[in-house]
Amino acid sequence: MVVDNCPFLRNCEHSLLFQGAEACLYILKDPNNVTHNGMFLLKKRLVKSYRHAKLDKKLTQKRITQEGRTLLKCQKLGIKVPIVYLSDLNERVILMEYLDDYQSLRNVLESRSLDNSVLKILSANVANVVAKLHDNSVIHGDLTTSNVLVKELKVENGTPESENMIEKSVTRNFSIVPIDFGLSSSSDTSEDKAVDLYVLERAILTTHANMTSFFDSFLENYVTASKYGSATKAKLDEVRARGRKRDMMG
């Protein structure tokens, strides 16, 4: 059991799921079975002692507020995200649904368990969700592969005849859940959308070698899925050029 003076942790059976630079994530037992799996996820943002205390509090509260607000907006739009149960700015926490049957896109890509045809489907599924966020003015702000959760859905396709046949075609499909909306914002500019895509591209290419085709296929699907896909893609070329210039200048 992790020792923490937070009342949510003191009074509830829990274990540490993840400790990052910004936050600790705990799995809490749900004694009243409010959730589908008997567990909550508590995200507690850490105090940054190198920051001035007042500024730290202000920044943290802004991130918690923004994360909760955007998660609710996504839920309203029909984009699957973890359900938010409560947030407490003083305790620096958000209590949300724990998606125990999902893994991060980062893990999926690193495991190299999917062949190219399935990776193409996965990239299209991710593109549809990012396009829906952007078409509804939601900019993620930190669209890395750790901030996208993935679960494979098995859908059986079959015409009435094929029901009785030995072979049924199985379409592979994935449920995609964006998370970690603390840096999200509301914007309609192609610049902001293109920066989201650039962050995703960098995350894919730097942490997952040989994944160029994954991002290419993602982008192709994004262009068709988003109303303003072509304009955002054109802007992405500009953002990339700026990035290259910055890299050259060190």
Ligand X SMILES: Nc1ncnc2c1ncn2[C@@H]1O[C@H](COP(=O)(O)OP(=O)(O)OP(=O)(O)O)[C@@H](O)[C@H]1O
List 4, 135, 142, 180, catalytic entry: 142
Q: How many Å apart are CA 43 and CA 13, to the nearest integer?
A: 15
Indicate the residue among 211 and 232 with the shorter CB distance to ligand X: 211
Cβ of residue 250: shortest distance to ligand X, in angstroms?
Answer: 26
Site for Mg ion in 180-219 (CB under 5 A): 180
Cβ of residue 75: shortest distance to Mg ion, in angstroms?
Answer: 19
Measured distance between the N- and C-terminal CA atoms of the chain, rounded to whole angstroms? 44
Residue nearest to ligand X (CB): 22
Cβ of residue 35: shortest distance to ligand X, in angstroms?
Answer: 11
Residues 6 or more apart in contact with residue 189 via CB below 8 angstroms: none
Indicate the residue among 149 and 211 with the shorter CB distance to Mg ion: 149
41 binds, among ligand X, Mg ion, none (CB under 5 to 8 A by kind): ligand X
142 is catalytic: yes
Q: How many Å apart are CA 45 and CA 92, to the nearest integer?
A: 5
Cβ of residue 202: shortest distance to ligand X, in angstroms?
Answer: 16
Interface ranges with ligand X (CB under 6 A): 18, 20, 22-23, 25, 41, 43, 82, 96-99, 102, 104, 146-147, 179-180, 182
- Report residue 65 as tokens: 């507020």
Indicate the residue among 181 and 222 with the shorter CB distance to ligand X: 181
Catalytic residues: 142
Q: Which residues bind Mg ion (CB under 5 A)?
A: 146-147, 180
